């Protein structure tokens, strides 16, 4: 056997053993600790404080967080969803949940009207739980991420559709970037040595039928309106000046096959 053939076989076996050990350590961490816990928080918005609006039109839980939580659970994580628009929890109650669940990530769904609240909450969480990674997503971080990522209390921003980007980010955090590095994840912003890294955008999900049906059991549906919201498509070709739908989900309309929407 020639020397280069011997080296090739040796290196192949060496890296196979190393990769196997990395994956064993990674899976052990996920299965035997709370390293797969992820808390997702829907922050209150002033829209729901208008007198009579909630009673007349009703209020549904955040479909975006339900969709994200379903996707994470399908891939082996344990999402804990908190809807502060419905559950008026105190700081002590929220911190009690974080202490009990010991999550690796706290994700905040953020709009322009509650951005100051989101930043303040990120600060409080980070000061009390410094090892927890704080992730912002939603409309405001998607459109003006540079205004937020400079905060010392925000670790990552996920832009636009977040299911795939959030999952890859969780994999990177749990594995200490052994399975995938931060700079290889499309759709995120993060800081590296005080430098802001803005990765390229992730293309929209083209086939929505590949997404799992949303698991509404994450919330107590009895606490919400009798009207149940559903989403049968994403994207909008319109150019309405007052709407950010096109900027957030793209100009191409993508729809679910009707048979995947169950009526009861």
Helix H or strand E segment including 11: helix 3-32
Average pLDDT over residues 237-262: 76
pLDDT of residue 20: 59
pLDDT tens for each residue of 163-190: 899 999 999 999 999 999 999 999 999 9
Neighbours of 36 (CB within 10 A): 21
pLDDT of residue 45: 73
Residue 231 has pLDDT above 80, yes or no: no
Residue 7 to residue 151: CA distance in whole angstroms:
48
138 three-class SS: coil
Q: Beta partners for 157? A: 136, 189
Give the chain's radius of gyration (CA, Å).
Answer: 21
Of residues 159, 167, 163, 168, the one with CA closest to residue 187: 159
Residue 202 neighbours by CB under 8 Å, 6+ apart = 159, 160, 161, 164, 165, 186, 187
The better pLDDT of the pair 197, 33 is held by 197
The better pLDDT of the pair 80, 59 is held by 80
pLDDT tens for each residue of 75-128: 999 999 998 888 888 889 999 999 999 999 999 999 888 899 999 999 999 999
């Amino acid at each position: 056997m020639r020397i280069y053939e011997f080296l090739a076989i040796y290196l192949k076996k060496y890296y196979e053993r190393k990769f196997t050990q990395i994956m064993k350590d990674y899976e052990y961490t996920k299965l035997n600790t709370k390293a797969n816990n992820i808390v997702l928080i829907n922050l209150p918005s002033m829209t729901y404080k208008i007198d009579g609006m909630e009673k007349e039109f009703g209020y549904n839980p955040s479909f975006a967080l339900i969709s994200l939580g379903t996707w994470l659970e399908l891939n082996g994580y344990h999402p804990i969803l908190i809807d502060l628009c419905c559950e008026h929890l105190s700081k002590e109650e929220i911190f009690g949940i974080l202490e009990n669940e010991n999550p690796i990530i706290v994700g905040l769904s953020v709009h322009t009207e509650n951005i100051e609240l989101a930043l303040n909450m990120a600060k409080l969480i980070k000061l009390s739980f410094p090892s927890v990674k704080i992730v912002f997503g939603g409309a405001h971080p998607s459109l003006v991420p540079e205004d937020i990522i400079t905060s010392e209390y925000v670790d990552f921003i996920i832009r636009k559709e977040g299911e795939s980007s959030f999952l890859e980010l969780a994999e990177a955090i749990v594995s200490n970037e052994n399975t995938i590095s931060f700079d290889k994840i499309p759709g995120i912003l993060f800081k590296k040595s005080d430098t802001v890294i803005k990765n390229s955008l992730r293309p929209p999900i083209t086939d929505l039928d590949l997404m799992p049906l949303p698991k509404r059991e994450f919330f107590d549906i009895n606490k919400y309106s009798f009207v149940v919201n559903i989403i049968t498509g994403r994207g909008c070709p319109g150019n309405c000046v007052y709407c950010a739908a096109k900027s957030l989900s793209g100009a191409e309309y993508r729809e679910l096959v009707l048979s995947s929407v169950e009526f009861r």
